[in-house]
Amino acid sequence: MLHRLLLLTLMLFCTTSLFAQNTIEETTLDELEIVSKRKRKIKKYKLNGFPPDFIDFSKNEFVVTNFENLPKGKIISATFYFNTWLPSFANSVNEEFKIDYKDVDFGVLVYNMKKDGTLGNLISDSEVKFTIKKEQRDGFKIDVSSIDFPLDKFFLGIKALSDVKTGEGSFYLRLCEPELNYSFQKFEKSEIFNPINESNTIVQQPFALKTTLEIEQ
């Protein structure tokens, strides 16, 4: 193909020199085929740390974790980790620890981050939904390419959409405790967390969601 293109270019040059007034008429662009291919570069950003932990929560409750200083590019997927070996280990040590995995629906949440590091405006409220089957173990990748993430810093997490309750063991979401990350957790009205105020309670937590982001560059 390269030889053909060089030969054609040489012919065009000669034709232009000899018959300049006829160049446009005698040149057929159909004979020129230029193909440009751009390879996509995908960078993975992994949020992990010790000690490992796990959590479950009730319908309409959520956990979102802060993300800052990510590699430049478009976030195309997020992987969260469900029903890992940790709950099974806890159950083997203590039979009273409940595991009753079910199919559970979730929605992806994205919040802006205020200057003081707290929750800002809600950017995406469950526009991206997914289901964790009771057979699911470990990482589950979600396509989040439709979400317009802030460029610098934000909160990302999930909300339970199915009729589940804390302590039932319907699912367990993997947590970690990295040095620079934290989360906000929403509790529905309850006697334990909110005995007086009828509104919901959002609490800052020292843990983070174990997460893997894929960023297209």
pLDDT, position 16 = 39
User: Tens digit of pLDDT for each residue in 68-92?
Assistant: 999 999 999 999 999 999 999 999 9
Residue 146 and residue 168: Cα distance in Å, rounded?
A: 33
Residue 38, helix vs strand vs coil = coil
Task: Give the global pTM.
Answer: 0.78
pLDDT, position 90 = 92
pLDDT at 6 over 60: no
The stretch 176-201 carries a mean pLDDT of 76
CATH topology of domain 42-216: Jelly Rolls (2.60.120)
pLDDT, position 18 = 36
pLDDT, position 40 = 80
The stretch 1-20 carries a mean pLDDT of 37
Instruction: Give the sign of the dihedral formed by CA 204, CA 210, CA 214, CA 217.
Output: positive
How would residue 188 be classed by pLDDT, with cut points 50, 70 and 90?
A: confident
How would residue 34 be classed by pLDDT, with cut points 50, 70 and 90?
A: very low
CA distances from 41 to 38, 76, 80, 119, 215 (A): 9, 12, 22, 31, 8
Q: In the chain, which residue ranges form alpha helices assigned H by DSSP?
A: 2-18, 23-26, 85-93
pLDDT at 17 over 90: no
pLDDT at 3 over 60: no
pLDDT at 194 over 60: no
